[in-house]
A and B are shown apart, each in its own frame.
Chain A
Amino acid sequence: MSENNTIGIVAPQTAHFNEPLTLKSGAALSQFDLVYETYGTLNADKSNAVLICHALSGTHHVAGKYSEKDKYPGWWDNLVGPNKPLDTNKFFVIGVNNLGGCHGSSGPVSTNPATGKPWGSEFPIVTVEDWVNSQARLLDQLGITQLAAVIGGSLGGMQALQWTIAYPDRVRHALVIASAPNLTAQNMAFNEVARQAIITDPEFHGGDYYEHGVVPRRGLRIARMLGHITYLSDDAMGEKFGRKLKDSIKYSFDVEFEMESYLRYQGDKFAGEFDANTYLRMTRALDYYDPALAYGGDLSKTLSQVKAKFLVLSFTSDWRFSPARSREIVKALLDNERTVSYAEVTAAHGHDAFLMPDEHYHAILRTYLSNIEVGGNHAK
């Protein structure tokens, strides 16, 4: 649908922060870096900024390519670009790698300024709240007082929601996609299995594997394989692989079914490029996020001070972040008489659907985003 309107070649930037950041856990980062990318042009009154919050394994590299040779563009390239649903002719789009990440922002793989060695196990546990606070610092540095919109899917949707709670005056629109106001026990249970796979890998070394020159590849691989099972629906897996064999039954434990081949490929690929300590922290951030906890579990009270207008989206076959969880957010907004629309998109792909260019899904985003008003001095 939108192949000829890529943002083109992009480059990441790094913002350095010397002011200490106190984390929700009570720990503090005396200084930190955030790596980010921007697409489009910030208008004169800085009213057209859109922040994209990434999910578990996402990065700041949302759209475009670093060089013509790149095999794949950024992770949400189907959404972001000139004349795409999130139109960079209109908006100034920011992608940022979260704290604790492994793509350039301060995290376990980066150097601890106090020791000159990788942080490893010493890097503190970061939360959704901490991420949003650090993102706010980035906006300060960019001179952006208020976002036209904040957008995120899954864990990114939690950040979008948190933005409206923590900084009600700094967000005009929140697009919360395939997300939830907290994780269910079952959802947290998947995270625990993933973490156990990593932590019990003999090469994990309590999180300080860097100094041993190894990585807990096996653990990370299994964690990712498990994740991929939960991101797809039963139907989508059935349709994609069914019981298809690669060759024939060999009465072995080698790769025999197509599904196994897919999971192993995804696991290997991920284990080769992602950091296990980051994975542990991202899943913990998911587990801990529960903004209503401070309000006795009352989400309506939690959202009583939000000012943003909301678009909440879910996907019918998403069982990891089911539509029912999105409806909880919608209900709390309705209870507070906020401006909210909710779409339950019919999609077969499970949780992964939020990253796919489904026509109706993208039409909703395009339509909603095109209605967002941005200030003058910008051709639209």
Chain B
Amino acid sequence: MAQEGAAGGSLERHCPTYIYKVVLLGSTAVGKSSLAYRYMKNDFQESLPTVGCSFFTKILRMESATVKLEIWDTAGQEKYHSVCHLYYRGAHAALLVYDITNKETLGRAKQWLKELEKEFLHDEIVIALVGNKTDLAEEREVPTEEGEEFARSRSLLFAETSAKSNHQVKDVFMAVALQLLQREAETAPAPRRGQHVDLGASRARTGCCRV
């Protein structure tokens, strides 16, 4: 986007740009698209069922870096499963979304985790477990502690959100971005990894951060 071009030159040395692919996974109708929509437009609307995948981008200007999130919002129906691995390939982060009013959806999120663990090494991907729909508190089936406990046991980020009432949506994406940056600092002394092509990324996009 335009800001990126302007940020070039000497500024870039101080403030590198990182591009991260973030994939939203979870059962159908847990609110993946609504979370993305809330995050992008700060609004809530009834989403259409996602067929395949939809895409969003968000640019975060942080103190130490500019982070560009490429958000892949995938179809939730289990039948699409065999197509879905197309989508999480090369992801830097994943949000495993479940619906706090539907226990089964947490089980499904755990299955997604298993699958991701097959595909990625532990430090290759940042994973957040997200319990959505806190606005439906009276219909809650999954206690906060249950999600939290599971997330802790697998060292995942955890948050309960409501796309509808705008609860902690920004925060969860921000937490993911911060953790990505932190890993960046830990794994590579010189800012290289996300800036160019990630070795783990099968969809190589060379130098697109400078476009």
**Is the pairing of A and B real?**
no
Which A residues have a C-beta under 8 Å from some C-beta of B?
none
